[in-house]
Amino acid sequence: MIGSNYKVYKYQKKQMKQGCRKAKWIAQRNRYGVRIAVGPTGYPWVINNLGKISTPVKNSATGKLNWTTISGRARDIGVGLDGSVWIIGRNRVKGGYSVMKMAMNRKGRVNWDVQPGMGGVRISVDDKGNPWIVTDKRAIYHLRDGKWKNIRGSA
């Protein structure tokens, strides 16, 4: 969750001795954001006020989670059940801003592949990894089989 103070919080449950549970929101140290999405692993993807993208990555040697900044800048982010990461970028196009999908190159670096044809201002991703966007005119579009389909109604 992102609080009104822009801090990123995680929900933590703890089992107590008597069988009851204690739960609370824990502020993540030095983590601030304006947009958030959670992937199938349960880890958040956060965009801060400068458009920087970050997510925790598990250190294979220590097992600890370390926040990592991912290359690129974004206005919104969505993560699918399949783990695909999509963003609304910062380049102005018809409908809002560019829609991009994260891809790794051969050297293990992040590339953002632009999905042409439509732009948006908000994004979410379904369980199959297909993005749904809202445009600057509040129209709803869904990417299916490489084509943007307009969904009746508005957001």
Report domain extents, the chain. 32-154
Superfamily of domain 32-154: TolB, C-terminal domain (2.120.10.30)
Which pTM does this prediction carry? 0.83
Amino acid at position 48, single letter: N
- Residues near 78 by beta carbon (within 8 Å), at least 6 away in sequence: 37, 85, 86, 87, 123, 124, 125, 131, 132
The alpha-helical segments, DSSP class H, found in the chain are: none
Cβ-based burial of 35 (10 A; exposed 0-12, middle 13-18, buried ≥19)? buried
Each residue of 69-118: pLDDT tens digit?
A: 999 999 999 999 999 999 999 999 999 999 999 998 888 889 999 999 99
Integer Cα distance of 143 and 149 in angstroms: 6
Each residue of 29-64: pLDDT tens digit?
A: 666 788 999 989 888 899 999 999 999 888 888 888
Integer Cα distance of 133 and 136 in angstroms: 10
Each residue of 92-101: pLDDT tens digit?
A: 999 999 999 9
- Look up residue 27 and give its two tokens: 């502020």
